Each structure stands twice: as structure tokens, then as C-alpha cells.
A and B are shown apart, each in its own frame.
Chain A
């Protein structure tokens, strides 16, 4: 295969021009999807992390089981289960609805773990000092614990958010017309790999700055761990 053939198959400007509108619409859907599932997952995570501050074993153990079950199920399995399974129970869900439920369960469990670890990373003396000056449990949480926790867990939060944005690509499996789905459509119509390559480039351009930032933060964190 000559270089020209190769370029034609993967980097054809002609094909790119044709596929551009549909790819752009996919990109918009991917961004909308991310704007929905990241807050949704964070919301689920905050709920779980707040529940984790309850010390009763009747809360703690079921909570841990919940988190571990949804961290064990691959997100795609969860999504298919909701999308293809629930209609059999008489519950029709749209692709968007299925993605929302699946991500709430999966992403929420991951965010929940990160938030919990962040809260626990703040020394007990901090809460004691706050309570000794008369701050309530909630005030101590809001003013003393959370600001420190967020700083400690920032790399993990960013890293998880990156993974969530990448994960939106599985919505293509339930025919939600996001970037990967549209690229596949374009590819199957044109019999040319350029649309998929273009989609990959779009993801890379979008997420590369985040990866750079993260790798800097993580290096610092691991080095500080010794």
C-alpha cells in the first residue's frame, strides 16, 4: 500500500469535508452529554459521601456494598441492562434516560469514593478545633473540612471527570448520536476511516490539556507520598 492510498484511507480531506457537519453535531452532543452526566455523577457522589459520614454500621456496610457493586459492573453492562433490560419490566427508557441512570449509578460510586477519601484525609484535630469554638457539625464540615478535602482530592476529581467525559463514548452503543456514533455512521457510509480518525483527533484536542495538567498534579502527589 502506497503512502497516497494510506492517506486517502485515513486522512482524506474530501471525506472530511463531507463528514464535517455530522461530526460537529456529534461533538455538540458529546459536550451536552458531558454537561449532563458530570453534575449528575457528582450529585450522586456527594449523596454517598455524606451518607458515609454516618457512623452506624447499618449505613456503612450497605453503603460500601453499593459502591463496590457499581464499581464492579462495567459501565457498558449497566447501560445495556438499563436500556435493553428495563423495557421488559414495562419501563421504556430513552437513550438519554438510560445513559443518565447508568452514569448516575456508576460515576456516582466513583465520585463518592473520591469525596469520602478526601473528607477522611482531613485530620480529626481540625474538626475538634472547630467544634471547640462552638461551630456545629455542619458548619465544621462546610468551613473547615470541605475546603481542605477539595484541595487534597483535586487530582482525583479531575482524573475521574476526564474518565467520565471519555466514557460518554459508550452512549454510541445505545444509538445516542454523540461523536463516536456519528463518526461510525459517516465511516460506514463512505467506507473510509477518515471520520473515525477525525473523531479521535477531536477527542485528543479536547482532552489533551486535561491530561497534561493531570500528569503534573499526579507526579507531585505521588512524590509527596513518601
Chain B
């Protein structure tokens, strides 16, 4: 299978802090890669480097054949192909659910209003929120907000979706709906990179699990291998901690 994301030797410094110390990550088409690791391991930073919300200090990143770090790359066009879902949803509070999804369709893809709203409505339908199109984020539950955020990314028909702890800001009873939306996305063949602590979801849906610590990839493999028989002591300790919860 062809790799759609190729990141090699990614470094990231925040002042004196060396957050990523040469990370390699390749993601094949239609693959779901799960990134786990303790807080401060650099997993979220890695994700944010992939669409250049963070500027890597060094390394090479290619997504769908586009060199992301090339100065000549039109970063706004490249980002259309990379959807992102944030921990804190980041929905625009002054727009309805439909407005949130339609904004980039109209402003970036330059679709006419009717077409943009049609596509936005279809995306909301995919996450089961067609009936909430006219609601403002403040009128939606956290789980519904996150599903709108997923629809906002999916509507642009990205080649890859990045999920940055999509369920950690949610009350437990609201997690299910978001995971369901992600599962359906996965079944439709979307390539996904997920940073999350939802180990049950990882076991059930991930093709590969990547364990990061201190800015490096420590171990990776199929979920049953990494969870069932981790090779590294650090991985074992982390999984023991997570399982206790």
C-alpha cells in the first residue's frame, strides 16, 4: 500500500524544550493509526506538525504527495486535504452548525451558497445531526459539538483526518456518539491518525498503534501486539497505568 503521510526526522523545539526528537511516521492509505503516550510525550505536537499548525524545527513531511514544508506550497490548499478535529471542538460560536461546516466550502472552495449548504447538510447527516443544522454551538451538547466539528472537516473531502484527543473534553456518556461517527468514517475508507486515550476503540478499530514517549516513537505494531505483549518496559508501564482506569 502507498503511504499517504510520510513524516521523517521531525524535530520541534519550544524555546529550550525539545518536544520532538526525530520522529518518523508513515501512514498508508485507508489505514487507521492510533498514537498513544503519556502527556508531554509530543503526540499532539506531532499531529499539529502534520498540517503545519506548528512549524517543525526540522525534518520532512509529505502528505498526499505534497511537500508540506516547502515554502512554495500553498498551505491553505494543502490543508483542505487534511481534516483536523480538536480536543476543545473550536466551533465558531457566532455561526450555526450549518454555518460552521459551510464556511470553508464557501470561502476556500468558493462553492456557491446553495451547493456549499447542500454539502454541509450532507456532512451533518453523516454524523447524525441533520436536525441540528440551525443550532448554535452553545445550544448543542459537547458530543454534538464534536460531531459538528467532524462534519466540518469531512465536508472538505480530505484525504487524511487528524484527531487530537477528540473525546477527552467530553462527559463519559457523550463519548459513544463521537466514537460511532469515527467508526463510520473509518468504514468509509478514510485514512485517520488519532491521538487518544480511548483504548477500547484502539483495540477494536486501529490497524496500528504507535507508542510515543519523550518526543520519540518507542514502539509500534498491531494493537494486539502493543497492548497484549509490549516489548518495551516504558510501553508496559504506560499500558498498565491506562488499564487501571
Q: Interface of A with B (CB < 8 Å)? A: 123, 125-126, 128-136, 139, 143-144, 147-148, 151
A125 & B86 in contact (Cβ 8 Å cutoff): yes
A148 & B94 in contact (Cβ 8 Å cutoff): yes
Q: Who on chain A is nearest to B54 by CB?
A: A128
CB-CB under 8 A from A128, the residues of chain B are: 53, 86, 90
- State the CA gap A56–B61 with chains docked (Å): 27
1/0 per residue, CB under 8 A from A, across B89-101: the answer is 0111110000000
Beyond A125-B86, A128-B53, A128-B86, is A133–B94 a contact (Cβ under 8 Å)?
A: no
For the complex with contacts A132-B84, A134-B156, 11 further pairs of A-B residues with Cβ separation under 8 Å are A125-B86, A129-B90, A129-B92, A130-B92, A130-B103, A132-B83, A133-B104, A134-B80, A134-B108, A139-B107, A148-B93
CB-CB under 8 A from A126, the residues of chain B are: 90, 92
Q: Who on chain A is nearest to B152 by CB?
A: A133
- State the CA gap A125–B48 with chains docked (Å): 12
B103 & A143 in contact (Cβ 8 Å cutoff): yes
Kindly identify which residue among B94, B107, B153 contacts A147, using a CB–CB cutoff of 8 Å: B94
Interface size class of B (residues with CB under 8 A): 20 to 34
A133 & B108 in contact (Cβ 8 Å cutoff): yes
Chain A CB within 10 Å — which of B104, B152, B156 has the most? Answer: B104
Which secondary structure dominates chain B's binding surface? mixed
B53 & A133 in contact (Cβ 8 Å cutoff): no
Question: B79 an interface residue at 8 Å Cβ cutoff?
Answer: yes
Which secondary structure dominates chain A's binding surface? helix
- State the CA gap A126–B53 with chains docked (Å): 12
B108 & A135 in contact (Cβ 8 Å cutoff): yes
Question: B82 an interface residue at 8 Å Cβ cutoff?
Answer: yes
- State the CA gap A135–B86 with chains docked (Å): 16
14 contacts between A and B (CB under 8 A): A128-B90, A129-B86, A129-B90, A129-B91, A129-B149, A129-B152, A132-B51, A133-B103, A133-B152, A134-B78, A135-B107, A143-B103, A144-B92, A148-B94
A133 & B93 in contact (Cβ 8 Å cutoff): no
- State the CA gap A139–B149 with chains docked (Å): 19
Kindly identify which residue among A130, A136, A139, A151 contacts B94, using a CB–CB cutoff of 8 Å: A151
- State the CA gap A139–B106 with chains docked (Å): 11
CB-CB under 8 A from B108, the residues of chain A are: 133-135, 139
- State the CA gap A129–B101 with chains docked (Å): 11
- State the CA gap A123–B92 with chains docked (Å): 10
Q: Who on chain B is nearest to A124 by CB?
A: B90
CB-CB under 8 A from A148, the residues of chain B are: 92-94
- State the CA gap A133–B91 with chains docked (Å): 12
- State the CA gap A130–B84 with chains docked (Å): 10
- State the CA gap A125–B88 with chains docked (Å): 8
B53 & A134 in contact (Cβ 8 Å cutoff): no
B107 & A143 in contact (Cβ 8 Å cutoff): yes
**A148 → chain B closest CB, angstroms:** 5
Question: B245 an interface residue at 8 Å Cβ cutoff?
Answer: no
